[in-house]
Amino acid sequence: MLRTQVVIIGAGPSGLLLSQLLHLQGIDSVVLEQRSRDYVAARIRAGLLEQHSVDLLVEAGAGERLQRECLVHDGFLMAWEGEVHRIDLHALAGKRVTVYGQTEIQQDLAEVRARSGGDIRYEATDVRLHDITTARPRVSCTHRDQAVEIECDFIAGCDGYHGVSRRSIPAEVLRTYERVYPFGWLGVLAEVPPLNDELVYANHSRGFALCSMRSRTRSRYYLQCPLEDTVEQWSDQRFWDELRQRLPAAHAARMTTGPSIEKSIAPLRSFVAEPMRYGQLFLAGDAAHIVPPTGAKGLNLATADVRVLHRGLTEFYRNRGRTLLDEYSQRALSRVWKATRFSWWFTTLMHKFGEDPFALQMQRAELTYIASSRAGAQTVAENYAGLDFDPDVVAAIR
């Protein structure tokens, strides 16, 4: 039987970042990932980072290319019914956000982990957790046709929404909260310059649209679409035509079109599982919570969990202190619920839910309120740019 200090399940951003931060504290880990390295590296997902996520990637030694290639944004645009309003993040919240693709983060973390001799086992199948509530938990799997069993002190469940870790917590212990939205996001990545320097979120009677980017030459655009739609129904031409109709005229006129590099449809869901700890198992990132993508909180919540968890594990290995680990779930969830609220609110504000005239008037009233009130805009700005950590969390994890 192998032995390590922490077994990390999942080599997404949460798992790799945790493993690297632990390594820098002299703590050993083994990462078990069910997919291949190429598959994980190619997934196109998040694009927008809060400052605390950037800071943690830099602390992990994975921030060099990020700092060279990222785009820093001081604000973003909200558009509806011919109106365009800019949320000035810097003036309203004193913060900025950073555009840098999750695909790049994944690559940077994998490289820094490989350089520091990280033990990451891709294509590990049939991962199972054992004896979670004892001081000697184990994880078994099949890797390269061999049965593998690893004994450890702690297990970090960083295996996303569909992973095995959360399902290893008994149903009577776990409380879950869920909201499924009645539409999806059709995303297109294209090698064309973004139509605006900053992101544009558009509420339109045909449905929501988002103009994001990955660089000055690569755009990431999204359209609200029916859940039943398939990408085959969306030719590039149809996508560009629909996007043009949902944007303010001046922005639509500046749009450069081109062949899509990637096209996918994602469902939207809010989901929170409590507690995020069971015995020696700690959940982090999408394994414990999912937010709809509006407002870009998913990856940022994952890094926030990892920040608290790695400090807790560090405290344990330094002086056998357990306070931070014991408080992990409560501290992480305090931020999770606030981001869940913001993502749900922003999704509700910007999407088309139907023809209910009352709901449409509520959206209009809220949008005009935000455009006319500094207090209204400031609430949007501070949530979008990322809330400060609660003061007691800051004190605890310093």
Residues that bind ligand FAD (CB under 6 A): 9-15, 32-35, 40, 45-48, 102, 124, 127, 158-160, 162-164, 185, 187, 266, 285-286, 293, 296-300, 302
Helix axis angle, 374-385 to 323-350, nearest 10°: 130
CA distance 350 to 202: 7
**Is 201 one of the catalytic residues?**
yes
* Closest separation in Å from C-beta 306 to ligand DHB: 20
* Closest separation in Å from C-beta 247 to ligand DHB: 15
Beta bridge partners of 200: 77, 211
211 binds, among ligand FAD, ligand DHB, none (CB under 5 to 8 A by kind): none
* Closest separation in Å from C-beta 392 to ligand DHB: 29
Determine how many CB atoms are found less than 10 A away from the CB of residue 326: 12
Measured from the CB atom, is 44 or 174 closer to ligand DHB? 44
CA distance 28 to 116: 11
Residue 384: closest CA among 74, 55, 54: 74
CA distance 11 to 18: 10
* Closest separation in Å from C-beta 376 to ligand FAD: 23
Q: Which residues bind ligand DHB (CB under 6 A)?
A: 46-48, 199, 212, 220, 293-296
**Is 384 one of the catalytic residues?**
yes
Full strand arrangement of the beta sheet holding 71-73 = 48-49, 97-99, 71-73
**Is 293 one of the catalytic residues?**
yes
Q: Which of 23, 204, 251, 297 is catalytic?
A: 297
Measured from the CB atom, is 17 or 210 closer to ligand DHB? 210
3-state secondary structure of 143: strand
Give the residue carrying structure tokens 């599982």.
273
Q: Which of 100, 122, 181, 201 is catalytic?
A: 201
190 binds, among ligand FAD, ligand DHB, none (CB under 5 to 8 A by kind): none
303 binds, among ligand FAD, ligand DHB, none (CB under 5 to 8 A by kind): none
294 binds, among ligand DHB, ligand FAD, none (CB under 5 to 8 A by kind): ligand DHB
CA distance 359 to 283: 36
277 binds, among ligand FAD, ligand DHB, none (CB under 5 to 8 A by kind): none
Determine how many CB atoms are found less than 10 A away from the CB of residue 237: 9
* Closest separation in Å from C-beta 143 to ligand FAD: 11
Which residues form the catalytic set?
73, 201, 293, 297, 384
